[in-house]
Each structure stands twice: as structure tokens, then as C-alpha cells.
């Protein structure tokens, strides 16, 4: 039963954006400070359903499909059987009283 006026929906959208995309109860409270809208809760739900930022925020995260591990990564080994060193940082070496 769609009987809401376009101005009402624009008013709800403006309030929704003004209160930073909060839920139905907060929008309804914000609107009731100045206006009395009949069937406001239903119209607010329709507006929230069409709000793209809200739909993105409430959406489920996507699922990543992981590639299979190489066979050498899947074989069990003793702890620290294979180690590595990260040389991405700057190394300072003191030679003859000065840093190189």
C-alpha cells in the first residue's frame, strides 16, 4: 500500500543522512521533533532498504577461495627446522667509531 508522498520520503532521506545512517528508531525520533508522519515506520524501512551505504554496511563479507598450499609447505617438520631473516630494515654497523 504505497500512499506516501515524495516529499515525505525526501524528508526521511535528509534526516537519515543528517543522523549518520542510524536505524529506524533514531530516524523516527529525529522526525518527531518537528513532524508527525502517518505510517512513518513503514516508509522509513522502505527508505533504509534503498540506502546504498546502509546496504553495504550490513552486507555479508565475501568469501575468499584460497589456493592450495605447495607440497613442501604441507609436510610436518620440527619447530624452527626452517627459518628466515628479514633484511628489509636498515642495518647499522659500527665500524671504526662511525655508523655505516
Bridge partner residues of 94 (DSSP): 99
Residue 31 has pLDDT above 50, yes or no: yes
Alpha carbon distances (Å) from 41 to 30, 75, 77:
12, 59, 61
pLDDT bucket at 1, cuts 50 / 70 / 90: very low
Mean pLDDT of 41-50: 92
Residue 20 has pLDDT above 60, yes or no: yes
Mean of pLDDT over the chain: 83
* pLDDT digit string, tens, across residues 74-95: 777 788 887 877 776 666 667 6
Amino acid at each position: 500500500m504505497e500512499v506516501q508522498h515524495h516529499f515525505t520520503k525526501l524528508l526521511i532521506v535528509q534526516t537519515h543522512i543528517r543522523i549518520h545512517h542510524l536505524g529506524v528508531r533514531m530516524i523516527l525520533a529525529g522526525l518527531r521533533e518537528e513532524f508527525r508522519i502517518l505510517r512513518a515506520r513503514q516508509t522509513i524501512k522502505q527508505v533504509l532498504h534503498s540506502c546504498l551505504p546502509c546496504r553495504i554496511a550490513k552486507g555479508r563479507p565475501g568469501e575468499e577461495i584460497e589456493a592450495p598450499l605447495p607440497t613442501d609447505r604441507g609436510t610436518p617438520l620440527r619447530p624452527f627446522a626452517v627459518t628466515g631473516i628479514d633484511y628489509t630494515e636498515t642495518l647499522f654497523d659500527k665500524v671504526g667509531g662511525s655508523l655505516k
